[in-house]
Chain A
Amino acid sequence: MSCIEQMKYTILLQRIGFKEAREYIEKNSEEVYYVSPGYKIFKDYYIIGVPPIAVGVKGSALIFPYTKPCHGSFVLSIENEESIKEINRLRETGGEKVTAPSKKGKPPESSKASLTSYGDMWKK
């Protein structure tokens, strides 16, 4: 069990495909950052996903995909002191971000690996 399950979260979408999760985050966030599979958020959650993985910011809430083998993908939102720290980390370490994402198609190529902690392991 990751720390996410012990935090107060809001389920924005549930039991969906990963692609739908990405599209939802892109369309419903004020800022979108793209991270690689395995990007760590909060205390010990490593994001499972198909790159590019969209992570969204809406106010002080972090919006991200959460996948479980038997239940599919979810879009979760967490808004607390920790989410603000995560958002700041994304803003500081992120290269390009996408704002007003609803008008965008695919993310810029250069942003795909910009936030990864494990970029050296990313096999395209």
Chain B
Amino acid sequence: MTGAKVLLMMGCPEIPIQTSIALYLSHKLTKSGFDVTIAGTAAASKLLKVSDPDGYYVKKLVDLDKTIVNIIEKRTNFDLCFAFMHNDAGMTYATTMSSISQAKMYSIVFGRNAEALAETIEFDCEKIVSQDAHNPVRLKNKLDKVIEEIVK
């Protein structure tokens, strides 16, 4: 899978662990040889830019809605997509991505209602679920196992 194009799709950044996990995942996947792009809302992108001003962890940062349009219009595509979600809108965006792209989908479901939200997912994906909102360690550990499988 080395060189594969990976999209990290961020949703609303109101749950703190999204930003740290996005930075971690971007770094870890880039180090493993993947071509990583992060797509986010304006606020989610600003959080990343302030956290990583020199672009050490985030190599490519793009607008979420424009990325969806580019995929629909076949101007870009990805091999893998990690979709962050902690609310119904995040799940709705991820479902849309699943419908318009051939990317293998990974749903990162977090926040206090993570398990209930995960049950609403109807598209084919691997679910990484953690009910945490502030402490990213449990979700990070789950993602480490997923990445380990991907790079095998």
Show the binding face of A for B, using Cβ within 8 Å: 2, 17-18, 36-38, 40, 44, 46, 48-51, 67-73, 118, 121-123
- CB neighbours (8 Å) of B32 from chain A are none
**Residues A46 and B92 in contact, CB atoms below 8 Å apart:** no
Least distance between A54 CB and chain B CB atoms (Å): 14
- CB neighbours (8 Å) of B92 from chain A are 18, 48-50, 67, 73
**Residues A121 and B89 in contact, CB atoms below 8 Å apart:** no
Interface size for B (C-beta < 8 A) is 28
Answer whether A49 and B89 are a contact pair too, CB < 8 Å, given A70-B43, A118-B100, A123-B124.
no
**Residues B87 and A72 in contact, CB atoms below 8 Å apart:** yes
Least distance between A72 CB and chain B CB atoms (Å): 5
- CB neighbours (8 Å) of B122 from chain A are 50
Answer whether A38 and B96 are a contact pair too, CB < 8 Å, given A69-B11, A70-B12, A121-B102.
yes
* A65 nearest CB neighbor, chain B only: B92
Bitwise interface map of B from 86 to 112 toward A, beta carbon under 8 Å scored 1, else 0: 011111110110111110000000000
Answer whether A67 and B99 are a contact pair too, CB < 8 Å, given A46-B72, A48-B68.
no
Interface centre among B44, B69, B98, B100 (most CB of A within 10 A): B100
